[in-house]
A and B are shown apart, each in its own frame.
Chain A
Amino acid sequence: NAGVTQTPKFQVLKTGQSMTLQCAQDMNHNSMYWYRQDPGMGLRLIYYSASEGTTDKGEVPNGYNVSRLNKREFSLRLESAAPSQTSVYFCASEARLYEQYFGPGTRLTVT
């Protein structure tokens, strides 16, 4: 039982490049989330998916898109990376009663 997995662990992009962050969970949870973590700002919600086939914007969605491919997978895409998107990205899935399980994170640097 792997829980929540994320790939890649580290990535360096140049401004304007695109990439997709992958997330998968094997706990049969309906809800999944993408957060970014920046020093002094805690976790901020980018997008979430309450169930397969649905996605909604969170607090900081600009510059990102998401796909809920199936119940297990929820990917985050940066179409044209900017230095302001340098951050650590966490995917999470939600069990009953709003308890969230987090993946190991992706550390992204945009130069």
Chain B
Amino acid sequence: AQSVSQHNHHVILSEAASLELGCNYSYGGTVNLFWYVQYPGQHLQLLLKYFSGDPLVKGIKGFEAEFIKSKFSFNLRKPSVQWSDTAEYFCAVNVPNRGYQKVTFGTGTKLQVIP
């Protein structure tokens, strides 16, 4: 089965710093990739997704992610974080037509932005 690794468990940044959160997956074929965000006390919401085409995907709130197939990576970036970006971020992968557990989530990265 596919798996997802998020190596940064907890990241602390000052406001206006740049952000890059790592995500690696373990399947060699076609995949769909997602980043979800969970603000404190809230449910998960989709931030952005990649299915095909341009490997640089832009999402909501100024976030973007780059799919690098050769590195099995889908890292999340934001040029300048705000205090309101404090949240937990989950990378997820789906292998089309693989049946059960269609979407596998990473363990999450908690981002804390200091004003």
Known: A40-B9, A59-B101. A90 touches B43 (CB 8 A): yes
Count B-side interface residues using an 8 Å CB cutoff. 22
| Interface range for A | 20 to 34
- The answer to whether B44 touches A42, judged by C-beta atoms less than 8 angstroms apart, is no
For B42, what are the chain A residues with a Cβ–Cβ distance below 8 Å? 104
Q: Which of B12-47 contact A (CB under 8 A)?
A: 32, 34, 36, 42-46
- The answer to whether B106 touches A42, judged by C-beta atoms less than 8 angstroms apart, is yes
For B43, what are the chain A residues with a Cβ–Cβ distance below 8 Å? 4, 90, 102-105
- The answer to whether B44 touches A99, judged by C-beta atoms less than 8 angstroms apart, is no
Q: Which of A86-106 contact B (CB under 8 A)?
A: 90, 92, 94, 97-105
A sample of 19 more A-B contacts (CB under 8 A), given A94-B102, A100-B36, A102-B44, is: A40-B9, A42-B106, A42-B107, A43-B90, A43-B105, A44-B105, A45-B101, A56-B100, A58-B100, A58-B101, A90-B43, A92-B44, A97-B32, A98-B32, A99-B49, A101-B46, A102-B43, A104-B43, A105-B43
Name A residues whose Cβ lies closer than 8 Å to a Cβ of B: 4, 31, 35, 40-45, 48, 56-59, 90, 92, 94, 97-105
